[in-house]
């Protein structure tokens, strides 16, 4: 099995576009020749295909083989097992933190999420969906690129702590019909149907779960005694793409509805009408031309749609109103993006890349009402323009200098200029040292600027963008046969003008405001080994310290130590594989106290049976460990207990 592993990993790293010839050439290489090729390559770090060793960032690439072996269901499942990442679940959305920064209530606006290079973050909350509200079933994903550090010099806003690019499988890689079904704990059911040929893919999926039966002592005095069964979730998605030569058309859509079992925002606890509905979709036309080596031209036009509707039930009987008053909170946004990039070898040792991005936001709307009483009807339009340039010089003696600069202008918050510098030194073919500097920004989104709730929250029109400056040193080394890899990263982050929701001392109302600064320090270690038997493991540890500069206190939901382990062992060659994923962390501050540390183990059995049938059996939280995640001030609870042991059975059939 090991003899095929380098080829699988290299093929999984090839990006979409007119590179079919490269794939065919790789398939013809011998094992010895394949071992001379770096095991991992990345595109999103500098918008060109390069070894992760050479990229001007600390990079992780998750390939198709690991997605299957570990039985990951969502993007959140993937990220919680990555070095320096943290995922928190408040039973409505899942929130991702990076390198010690994971403030409760954040909508993931400090990471930039891409699908095949297309921006997924929307302009109302700036949210990046990582749960089942993400438009793609992971069965359609070929690989996931995680590029750590500020990325605004290439990508503009939201690329604050990291850029995550989800690369879809091409029709030629799926070829034929693929049917998938799953069933699991809490009456979970799901299915997917995909048809693909060399130039196109069409897929649709659906899911439904009744959710866990939960108990919250904070609501023990309610009629249900603090017990609720309103953790349900359901939805459906569709995906299609067509490729012809240098052209590609892609469309995606998802609708997801989630019950809210926590009594958040002072709603009536255990009421089945407390729920949120999210819709998200896009249609893109992409061109990619050039010879892929000396010069390359890329262009994209995209139309995106986002909608959210929240239904919240309140008891107003104490003030003479209804015992079940329905408050409806809604947002809607649609925007058009035009982007272009050009890359060429200007000198034998110099590659220049330049590009632009224009976004026209036609509707960025927010509404809130109870019956005929309208509390908020905010309708805005916006415009974003950005230009960037990046130059990569080979200085000789193994040194490469990458310098980038991007200027963005927002109609709502003005301009921001962000540089990036990376000095990379290669030590032979299998080791590099990197010294990295970068800055990034996140402008206030429409929710932070304009949202108002009578008697509790008011608009914040004077907000300034958040900014971050970062310094990082990285060293990474492979063994000569690429079976061992070790890496270490040390970083310093400085965040200023942080946007938080705080109480105005003059009137007691909640308001978004820029406050103080945060300093983050961290050290990350990672070790990877691939055995001749085909088994492999990746062990990482992150020490991180993020503090409020004014108080000196560690941030809420910021563990000082994070450890992850991912391993795959073939029990029967090319037939049966066991995947083990572990994530562990020490205690975390909450808004009023702290949670204890824990270690969670997930075990997956992946089997290739006869007649094109694949089996997956996942045991989540194998040892039924009790642990809780800190949550935001919109909940009565200080922390929410997470699921105990769960089971999920999945079947995939390729007739």
Beta bridge partners of 562: 542, 585
Asked if residues 259 and 233 have their Cβ atoms less than 8 Å apart, the reply is yes
Residue 275: predicted pLDDT = 97
Q: Measuring CA to CA, how many Å separate 267 from each of 150, 222, 273, 325?
A: 38, 12, 10, 10
> What share of the chain in percent tops pLDDT 90?
80
Q: How high does pLDDT run on average in the chain?
A: 91
Q: How many other C-beta atoms are found inside a 10 Å radius of the C-beta of residue 297?
A: 14
Mean pLDDT of 270-291: 96
Asked if residues 157 and 443 have their Cβ atoms less than 8 Å apart, the reply is yes
Q: What single-letter DSSP state applies at residue 345? A: E
DSSP string, 218-259: GGTTSTTTTEE----EEEEEEEEEEEETTEEEEEEEEEEEEE
Residue 347: predicted pLDDT = 79
Confidence of residue 26 (pLDDT cuts 50, 70, 90): very low
CA distance from start to end of the chain: 24
Q: What single-letter DSSP state applies at residue 40? A: -
What are the phi and psi torsion angles at 167 (to 5°)? -100, 125
Nearest to 209 by CA among 646, 547, 535: 646
* 345 vs 352: CA distance, rounded Å: 6
- Within the chain, what is the greatest distance between any pair of CA atoms? 80
Asked if residues 338 and 298 have their Cβ atoms less than 8 Å apart, the reply is no
- Checking if the pLDDT of 223 tops 50, the result is yes
- Note the pLDDT tens digit of each residue in 532-572: 888 999 999 999 999 999 899 999 999 999 999 999 999 98
Q: What is the 3-state secondary structure (H, E, C) of 503-563?
A: ECCCCCCEEEEEEEEEEEEEEEEEEEEECCCCCEEEEEEEEEEEEECCCCCECCCCCCEEE
- Checking if the pLDDT of 390 tops 90, the result is yes
From the number of C-beta atoms within 10 Å of its C-beta (0-12, 13-18, 19+), residue 459 rates as middle
Residue 5: predicted pLDDT = 32
User: Structure tokens of 98?
Assistant: 């990076």
Predicted TM-score (pTM) of the model is 0.93
Inter-axis angle of helices 5-12 and 20-27, to 10 degrees? Answer: 170
- Note the pLDDT tens digit of each residue in 501-533: 888 888 888 889 998 899 999 999 999 999 988
Nearest to 424 by CA among 460, 395, 462: 395
Q: Which domains does the chain have, with CATH numbers?
A: 2-653 (2.40.170.20)
Mean pLDDT of 372-401: 95
Element (DSSP H or E) covering residue 580 = strand 576-585
* 136 vs 127: CA distance, rounded Å: 16
* 109 vs 122: CA distance, rounded Å: 9
- Checking if the pLDDT of 264 tops 80, the result is yes
Per-residue b/e over 85-97, b at no fewer than 16 CB within 10 Å?
bbbbbbbbbbbbb
Torsion of the alpha carbons at 125, 129, 131 and 135, rounded to the nearest 10: 130
Element (DSSP H or E) covering residue 431 = strand 431-442
Asked if residues 562 and 84 have their Cβ atoms less than 8 Å apart, the reply is yes
Asked if residues 455 and 421 have their Cβ atoms less than 8 Å apart, the reply is no
- Note the pLDDT tens digit of each residue in 335-362: 999 999 999 988 778 999 999 999 999 9
- Checking if the pLDDT of 11 tops 80, the result is no
- Note the pLDDT tens digit of each residue in 402-458: 999 999 999 999 999 999 999 999 998 899 999 999 999 999 999 999 998 877 888
């Amino acid at each position: 099995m090991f003899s095929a592993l380098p080829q699988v990993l290299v093929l999984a790293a090839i990006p979409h576009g007119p590179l079919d010839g490269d794939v065919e050439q790789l398939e013809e290489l011998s094992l010895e020749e394949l071992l001379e090729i770096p095991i991992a390559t990345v595109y999103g770090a500098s918008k060109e295909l390069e070894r992760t060793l050479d990229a001007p960032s600390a990079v992780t690439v998750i390939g198709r083989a690991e997605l299957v072996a570990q039985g990951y269901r969502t993007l959140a499942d993937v990220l919680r097992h990555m070095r320096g990442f943290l995922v928190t679940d408040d039973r409505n959305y899942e929130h991702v933190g990076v390198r010690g920064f994971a403030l409760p209530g954040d909508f993931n606006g400090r990471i930039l999420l891409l699908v095949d290079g297309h921006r997924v973050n929307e302009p109302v909350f700036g949210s990046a969906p990582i749960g089942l509200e993400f438009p793609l079933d992971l069965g359609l994903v070929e690989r996931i690129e995680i590029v750590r550090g500020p990325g605004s010099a290439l990508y503009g806003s939201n690329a604050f702590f990291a850029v995550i690019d989800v690369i879809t499988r091409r029709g030629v890689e799926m070829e034929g019909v693929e049917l998938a079904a799953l069933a699991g704990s809490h009456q979970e059911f799901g299915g997917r149907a995909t048809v693909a040929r060399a130039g196109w893919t069409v897929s649709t999926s659906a899911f439904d779960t009744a959710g866990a039966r939960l108990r919250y002592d904070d609501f023990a005095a309610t009629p249900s005694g603090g017990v609720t069964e309103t953790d349900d979730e359901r939805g459906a998605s569709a995906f299609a793409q067509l490729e012809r030569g240098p052209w590609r058309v892609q469309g995606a859509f998802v609708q997801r509805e989630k019950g809210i079992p926590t009594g958040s925002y002072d709603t009536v606890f255990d009421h089945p009408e407390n729920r949120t509905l999210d819709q998200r979709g896009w249609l893109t036309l992409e061109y990619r031309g050039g010879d892929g080596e000396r010069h390359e031209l890329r262009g994209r036009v995209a139309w995106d749609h986002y909608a959210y509707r929240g239904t919240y039930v309140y008891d107003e009987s104490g003030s003479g109103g209804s015992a079940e008053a329905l408050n409806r909170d809604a947002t809607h946004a649609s925007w058009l993006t035009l982007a272009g990039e050009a890359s060429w070898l200007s000198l034998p040792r110099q590659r220049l890349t330049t590009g632009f991005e224009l976004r026209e936001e036609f509707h960025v709307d927010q509404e809130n009402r109870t019956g005929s009483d309208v509390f908020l009807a905010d309708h805005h339009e916006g415009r974003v323009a950005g230009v960037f340039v990046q130059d990569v010089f080979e200085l000789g003696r193994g040194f490469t200098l990458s310098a980038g600069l991007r200027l963005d202008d927002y109609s709502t918050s003005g301009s921001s200029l962000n540089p990036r510098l990376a000095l990379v030194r290669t030590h032979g073919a299998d080791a590099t040292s990197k010294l990295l500097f970068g800055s990034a920004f996140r402008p206030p989104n429409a929710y932070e600027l304009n949202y108002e709730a009578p008697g509790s929250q008011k608009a914040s029109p004077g907000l300034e963008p958040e900014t971050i400056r970062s310094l990082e040193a990285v060293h990474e080394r492979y063994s000569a046969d690429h079976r061992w890899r070790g890496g270490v990263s040390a970083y310093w982050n400085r965040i200023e003008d942080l946007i938080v929701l705080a109480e105005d001392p003059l009137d007691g109302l909640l308001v978004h405001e820029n406050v103080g600064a945060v300093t983050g320090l961290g050290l990350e270690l990672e070790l990877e080994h691939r055995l001749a038997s085909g088994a492999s493991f990746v062990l990482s540890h992150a020490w991180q310290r993020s503090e409020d500069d004014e108080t000196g206190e560690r941030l809420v939901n910021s563990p000082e130590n994070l450890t992850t382990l991912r391993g795959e062992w073939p029990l029967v060659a090319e037939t049966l594989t066991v995947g083990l994923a572990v994530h562990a962390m020490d205690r975390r501050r909450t808004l009023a106290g702290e949670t204890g540390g824990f270690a969670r183990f997930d075990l997956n059995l992946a089997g290739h049976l006869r007649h094109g049938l694949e089996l997956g059996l996942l045991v989540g939280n194998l040892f039924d460990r009790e642990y809780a995640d800190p949550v935001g001030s919109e909940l009565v609870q200080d922390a929410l207990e997470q699921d105990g042991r769960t089971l999920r059975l999945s079947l995939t059939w390729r007739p």
